[in-house]
Amino acid sequence: MGAGKRSLVATAVGLVCAVTVLGGAGAAFASPAPTPTPTPTATPTPSVTLPPNKDLEAVQKRLEKLYHDAAVATDAYNAAEERSERQSAEIVELAREIVKGQKRLAQLKDRAGAAARAQYRSGGLPPTARLWLSDDPQAWLEGVSLIRQGEKATTGLLAEMTRTQQDLQLYAQDASAQWTKLEASRKARAAAQKQIEQQIAAAENLESQLQKEEKERLAELEREAAAKAQTSWLGSGVIDDTDGSTTAQAEKAVQFATAQTGKPYEWGAEGPGTYDCSGLTSAAWAAAGVTIPRTSQQQWDQLPHVDIEDMRPGDLIVYFDDASHIAMYVGEGKMVHAPRPGRTVTIAGAGSMKILGVVRPGA
């Protein structure tokens, strides 16, 4: 989490603590402390034993599975992070409304107190009693009008005090509910983070058991598999009729994304120095003035879908059945993406992985 995000959460925590001391006119508001929820069960670290005879194709499949699972957990982490930010902002806004309500209630109480003190200074008799004791007919008529105005003002004052107290109660309840949701999001984020770290550690442990020559051969196998998939995809003719035209916004997004090549992959990162896959695509489109969802699964679910045959530069290509990876199409059958831990942002064949579909931001 960046410093700005940590500051937002810290501000929310500080402001919502004010809810615990809210009170007035005999009413006390509940603390927003969340109801304890069970701690997520720890995910066991996957096996990292090399397959028999160091079968590199089996190693490749195992690594793909580990990094894929890390990508799925990264999406879960990013979604929980996004929820935490939104819930923190809502708590901050509720706390501000509570502070405003407290000030308004204090003002209303001051007005009511002033009226009570004025009556005390007049001898303690209510205005109606003083009116009937008056011998001046003109004063009596004027007094009737004033009493009616005073009764109306008093009724309005009491009604406004009641409404303000009710609003404060609702704000406090909403803050408590949002606080509970925030704690749940934090726990989900922590569980996803643990899952990511375990999967990446297992993959790195597995790779560390290989000799230099074996690592080189493994990398070659990966390149061969990607090239084979790309050749087959292009050979299908699926993009033969695409015209390569695009919009000014999409062009800006492509320029931004391709300018990030060479920067390291880091799960949960949105730039500017490191990125994960959806962090790169969301940052690129943000640079073009378009806000899109944060995670690859959200981008797949929420953005307009287009046929692969109609794909144009700037569109986002979603990979695998669970939408766990995403890249940006840059034209001529290529895409730019942040592949996985240990790799950098790079341009590769758009068909080098299993395509789920294509979405178009800014449509």
Q: Rounded mean pLDDT of 34-52?
A: 52
Token code pair at residue 319: 């990979």
End-to-end Cα distance, the chain = 30
Residue 189 pLDDT: 83
Residue 140 pLDDT: 47
In this model, does residue 275 exceed pLDDT 70? yes
**What is the Cα–Cα distance from 75 to 81, expressed in whole angstroms?**
10
Residue with the bigger pLDDT between 118 and 228: it is: 228
In this model, does residue 218 exceed pLDDT 70? yes
Residue 23 pLDDT: 40
Question: Strand, helix or coil at 117?
Answer: helix
Contact between 264 and 344 (Cβ < 8 Å): yes
Residue 53 pLDDT: 59
Residue 341, CB half-sphere, CA atoms under 13 Å: how many?
22
CA quadruple 192, 197, 200, 205: dihedral positive or negative?
negative
Confidence of residue 84 (pLDDT cuts 50, 70, 90): confident
Q: Give the residue numbers marked as catalytic.
A: 277, 325, 337
Confidence of residue 29 (pLDDT cuts 50, 70, 90): very low
Q: Please give the C-alpha separations between residue 211 and each of 23, 50, 53, in angstroms, as whole numbers.
A: 68, 12, 13
Residue 149 pLDDT: 56
In this model, does residue 336 exceed pLDDT 60? yes
Residue 332 pLDDT: 92
> Among 30-34, 59-63, 296-300, which stretch is predicted with the lowest mean pLDDT?
30-34
CA nearest to 144, candidates 157, 132, 156, 135: 132
Confidence of residue 133 (pLDDT cuts 50, 70, 90): very low
**What is the Cα–Cα distance from 289 to 292, expressed in whole angstroms?**
10
Domains of the chain in start order, with CATH, are: 55-207 (1.10.287), 241-359 (3.90.1720.10)
pTM above 0.95, yes or no: no
Contacts of 123 (CB under 8 A, 6+ apart): 130
Question: Cα 201 to chain center, whole Å?
Answer: 26
Amino acid occupying residue 141 = L
Confidence of residue 39 (pLDDT cuts 50, 70, 90): very low
**What is the Cα–Cα distance from 338 to 50, expressed in whole angstroms?**
27
Residue 357 pLDDT: 97
* Average pLDDT score, the chain: 79
Residue 51 pLDDT: 61
Residue 3 pLDDT: 40
Confidence of residue 360 (pLDDT cuts 50, 70, 90): very high
| Rounded (10°) CA dihedral 31, 177, 291, 192 | 90
Q: Rounded mean pLDDT of 179-206?
A: 86
* Per-range mean pLDDT, top range of 86-90, 178-182, 206-210, 218-222: 218-222
Q: How many CB atoms within 10 Å of residue 75?
A: 25
Share of the chain above pLDDT 90, in %: 36
Confidence of residue 110 (pLDDT cuts 50, 70, 90): confident
> Among 31-40, 248-257, 346-355, which stretch is predicted with the lowest mean pLDDT?
31-40
Contact between 64 and 220 (Cβ < 8 Å): no
Confidence of residue 358 (pLDDT cuts 50, 70, 90): very high
Q: Please give the C-alpha separations between residue 226 and each of 94, 221, 232, 348, in angstroms, as whole numbers.
A: 51, 9, 10, 9
Confidence of residue 317 (pLDDT cuts 50, 70, 90): very high
Q: Rounded mean pLDDT of 9-21?
A: 47
Residue 80 pLDDT: 86
> Among 23-27, 61-65, 96-100, which stretch is predicted with the lowest mean pLDDT?
23-27
Backbone φ and ψ of 47, nearest 5°:
-65, 140
Q: How many CB atoms within 10 Å of residue 49?
A: 9
